[in-house]
Amino acid sequence: MTKRIEHWIRPSVRTLRAYHVADAGNMIKLDAMENPNIWPGELEQAWLQALGAVQINRYPDARAQELKDALRTYMDIPASLDIMLGNGSDELIQLLQLAVGGPGRKVLAPTPSFVMYEMIAAAVGMEFVAVSLRDSFDLDAHAMCVAIEEHQPALVFIAWPNNPTGNLFDTQALEAVIEASPGLVVIDEAYQPFSKKTWMSRLDQYDNLLVMRTLSKMGMAGLRLGVLAGKRAWLQEFEKIRLPYNINSLTQTGAAFVLEHQGLIGGQIEQICVERQRVIEALQAIAGVKVYPSHTNFILFRVENADTVFMRLKQSGILVKNLNGVSAALDSCLRVTIGLCKENDAFLSALVQAA
């Protein structure tokens, strides 16, 4: 069997390591940028009623029109632009790479950044070009433009704000990247609810720009819904390779219902931003901890020995993300997602003991 596997599975897939998802068990889960809030009881009842009306014996609406309309309003997507939906933005990243892929085609992104850009490139057989961020985690516009000139990438991915560093790259640096790119530039705004900044209104200005969003970080990670906005001519091409029913009926109905309750989501996001500030200040007060600025719902921080601190937090029942060893730039770094007030308190007091 080993021989057959070696013969048939592509080398680029065999050398991959599956995306690791830690088992949180009963721990306080602060590792995956989820919104920790649950809904008030009556709203949950109304939501269950809406889901109960879904006919699961029928295929979903292949165009997901009602949901797209709700998203257009909620995300201020200009009428001149088209929308494409994915089963999470991960699926959109894959679909974009499939659409432009082929021998010699390249994907470029700064690093450290979202790991799926590179993993998917390996999976679909595209070459991945990594351009290091500066030590401050700012975008190195010059290095980006030089690499773009040299490699002529079909796709450039920019997470804005960036994951796992939490910062927003300089707007002028991004403009230089967009203008230097022969192919598409995708601005991944997964954390837009927490940064409140967007390129959506500037999509019209460029022929090679796409904006990607997700509902995951604002409280619907379980529904799996990613959103791509861009000019019709591009999206028409991508639509040809989107699987016809990639957004299931429960997600279509469930997400549309939640988007109707904007006030609730907005309130939760505000509360997360307030907590973020409180946790940043508390971290700054702990000796031996270096905190990085955040425009997201997580905080990157450096300690003296990340592996030890990570283990001790785990022993205290708190799961964060250990980034030590991921890349030299992230040595001794941990990433914590903002949780409920009492979860953040538990994290902070465990960290004081552990650091």
Q: Which residues bind ligand PLP (CB under 6 A)?
A: 33, 88-90, 114, 159, 163, 188, 190, 214, 216, 221, 226
Query: Measured from the CB atom, is 91 or 343 closer to ligand PLP?
Result: 91
Least Å distance, CB 158 to ligand PLP, is 9
Cβ proximity to ligand PLP: between 114 and 128 the closer is 114
Contact 292, 300 (CB under 8 A): yes
C-alpha dist (Å) from residue 325 to 92, 166, 306, 307, 334:
28, 18, 10, 9, 11
Plot region of 235 (φ>0 → left; ψ -120 to 50 → alpha; else → beta)? alpha
Q: Which residue is nearest to ligand PLP (CB)?
A: 88
CB of 309 to ligand PLP, least distance (A): 23
Are 297 and 338 in contact, with CB atoms under 8 Å apart? yes
Q: What's the min distance (Å) between Cβ of 214 and ligand PLP?
A: 3
Residue 93: in which H helix or E strand, if any? helix 89-100
Residue matched to tokens 């991004």: 174
Cα distances (Å, whole numbers) of residue 50 to 53, 126, 282 = 5, 42, 42
Q: How far is the CB of 62 from ligand PLP (least distance, A)?
A: 20
Q: How far is the CB of 275 from ligand PLP (least distance, A)?
A: 19
Is-contact 64 225, C-beta < 8 A? no
**Which residues does 86 contact at the CB level (< 8 Å), separation at least 6?**
92, 95, 225, 226, 227, 228, 242, 246, 247
Q: Which is nearer to ligand PLP, 116 or 129 (CB)?
A: 116
Return the bridge partners of 83, or none: 229
Closest approach of Cβ 224 to ligand PLP, in Å? 7
Pairing state of beta strands 184-188 and 209-214? parallel
Picking from 132, 112, 128, the residue whose alpha carbon sits closest to that of residue 120 is 128
Q: What sign does the dihedral 189-193-196-201 (CA atoms) show?
A: positive
| Choice between 216 and 248, CB closer to ligand PLP | 216
Angle of CA points 325, 334, 353, to nearest 5° = 120
Nearer to ligand PLP, 35 or 268 (CB): 35
Nearer to ligand PLP, 228 or 283 (CB): 228
Nearest-approach distance from CB 40 to ligand PLP, in angstroms: 24
Query: 112 or 226: whose CB is closer to ligand PLP?
Result: 226
CB of 228 to ligand PLP, least distance (A): 11
Outline where DSSP puts E strands in 176-221. 184-188, 209-214
Query: Cβ closer to ligand PLP: 176 or 221?
Result: 221
